[in-house]
Amino acid sequence: MPVDLKITTELLYKGALVFALMDAICIPLLIWRVSEETFRRLKWPLVIAAALVWYGIWAWAIGKFWETVYSYVFPAWAQTWVPWIAFVVAGSVALGLWMLAIRIKWNFILTFCLMGGVIGSLTHIWAVHRGIVTKPPMLQGASPLAAVVIAFFEYIFYWCTILALAKIMSWLQMKLKII
């Protein structure tokens, strides 16, 4: 990665647009392919998929961007522990999102994915508070609002991916008669 790479407000908004377009494809596909009955059965596959996906995202992000981004906003111990914390927290969040989607009398897929986006924005508000757009040279000058907006659409995409992975896991479990 170039040392002088600069994440700008414009780049964050363009990224938000790309994620929003991917969300606009993924959500209708999931609504079409995941029935309410299937979604209700995905409780534990969602927990497992979320834990694995978020562990992977954070292991990659910390490994790739520790020096250029995360060392500015996290204590040193986080380099080792953030992926593991994400593993546990993401599983719990998935369970909470699943329960919320089941209880709200609205489209369960949309609820699950949109609430995942809200969580993304909340985590990025916290990151902005910690200095994510002021401390790392790579992000200095980027708009805090743009960092929060991209997170909404980015996290919707992640939770769509997790839902699709959970459905595949459930399908494989049924086909292979595993547990």
CA distance 57 to 53: 6
Say what the pLDDT of residue 75 is: 95
Decide: 66 and 79 in contact? Cβ < 8 Å.
yes
pTM here is: 0.94
The pLDDT confidence band at residue 137, using thresholds 50, 70 and 90, is: very high
In this prediction, residue 2 carries a pLDDT of 58
Whether 57 shows a pLDDT value over 60: the answer reads yes
Helix, strand, or coil (residue 1): coil
Q: Please state, in angstroms and rounded to a whole number, the distance separating the CA atoms of residues 43 and 95.
A: 7
The average pLDDT across 105-134 equals: 96
Beta carbons of 55 and 12 less than 8 angstroms apart: no
Report the pLDDT averaged over residues 113-133.
Answer: 97
* 106 three-state secondary structure: coil
The residue among 77, 57, 79 whose CA lies nearest residue 67 is: 79
**88-126: burial string, b at 16+ Cβ within 10 Å, e else:** eebbebbeebbeebeeeeeebbbbbbbbbbebbbeebee
pLDDT per position as a tens digit, 21-38: 999 999 999 999 999 999
- pLDDT for res 53: 98
- Token duo for residue 114: 């949109």
User: Is pLDDT above 90 for 109?
Assistant: yes
In which band, very low, low, confident or very high, does the pLDDT at 11 lie, cut at 50, 70 and 90?
very high
Averaged pLDDT for residues 116-141: 96
Cα separation, 95 vs 88, in Å, equals 11
| Residue 68 pLDDT greater than 70, yes or no | yes
Output the pLDDT for position 1. Answer: 56
Q: What residue segments make up the domains of the chain, in order of their start?
A: 9-33+49-176
Q: At what angle do helices 9-33 and 108-130 cross, to 10 degrees?
A: 160
Q: Average of pLDDT values for 105-117?
A: 95
How far lies 43's CA from each of 18, 93, 99, 150, in Å? Answer: 29, 11, 8, 27
Helices (H) and strands (E) in the chain, counts: 6, 0
- Please determine, for residue 6, whether its predicted confidence score (pLDDT) is greater than 60: yes
- The band of 3, judged by pLDDT with boundaries at 50, 70 and 90, is low
Counting beta carbons within 10 angstroms of the beta carbon of residue 13, is it exposed (0 to 12), middle (13 to 18) or buried (19 or more)? middle
Average pLDDT, whole number, for the chain? 95
